Homo-oligomer: A and B are copies of this chain.
């Protein structure tokens, strides 16, 4: 499977999850297209790579399609992730239902500020960053989320990599140097905004 297909399947998953919440029980490729801006033919083609999940003239059953896509993406189980940074952004991430909804469990929160260590975020205690390696090993964590200011981000990235984390979500604007077997996703709303503006102005 290519990167593109997996990324799109994840987005279908979100639309299905939300549509289910809104009480719908079936959906057409055209409806998914309206929400994702992905062409309806592309959606049907992506799904038909893996089986015949729809009913002609009717659409897709939301529950059964959710199950099929989860099976394809192997996101049935729980995944533990570590959050580094107990500031405003860290709090916002920890309190968001977005992760839990997709079986992603924030298993540990860390900070290097002694003022914050020992405090709590949601129901979790903020741990000292020096206990990161132990937590990563014990809780089988492969994903780390960086929610610290840009100037501390490179050091946090080193610590995550040193602890054995293989996927890093970087919410700072810093550039991170990591080994080739580690994946970095940098999330920068300003960058997205720039190209959205470009097309608006054109």
Confirm or deny: A53 has a beta carbon within 8 angstroms of a beta carbon on chain B.
Answer: no
* A54-106 CB contacts (< 8 Å) to partner B: 73-75, 79, 81, 87-89, 91-93, 95-99, 101-102, 104
Looking at A130-138, A156-164, A166-174, the stretch in contact with chain B turns out to be A166-174
Q: Would A175 and B18 be within 8 Å (CB), given that A98-B190, A197-B167 are in contact? A: yes
The answer to whether A13 touches B191, judged by C-beta atoms less than 8 angstroms apart, is: yes
B175–A35 touching, CB < 8 Å: yes
Instruction: Tell me if A195 counts as interface (CB < 8 A to partner B).
Output: yes
Number of interface residues of A (CB under 8 A): 65
Instruction: Give 29 CB contacts A-B under 8 Å.
Output: A3-B195, A6-B199, A7-B195, A9-B195, A10-B191, A11-B191, A14-B190, A15-B175, A17-B173, A73-B198, A75-B198, A81-B193, A89-B89, A89-B96, A91-B92, A93-B189, A97-B150, A98-B173, A98-B188, A98-B189, A98-B190, A99-B193, A102-B194, A142-B197, A143-B193, A167-B200, A169-B189, A185-B196, A187-B187
Q: Which residues of B contact A9 (CB under 8 A)?
A: 195
Complexed CA–CA distance, A88 and B187 (Å): 18
Give chain B residues whose Cβ lies under 8 Å from the Cβ of A185. Answer: 192, 196
The residue on B at minimum CB distance from A197 is B79
Expressed in whole angstroms, the minimum distance between the Cβ of A192 and any Cβ of chain B is: 6
Q: Are A195 and B101 in contact (CB under 8 A)?
A: no
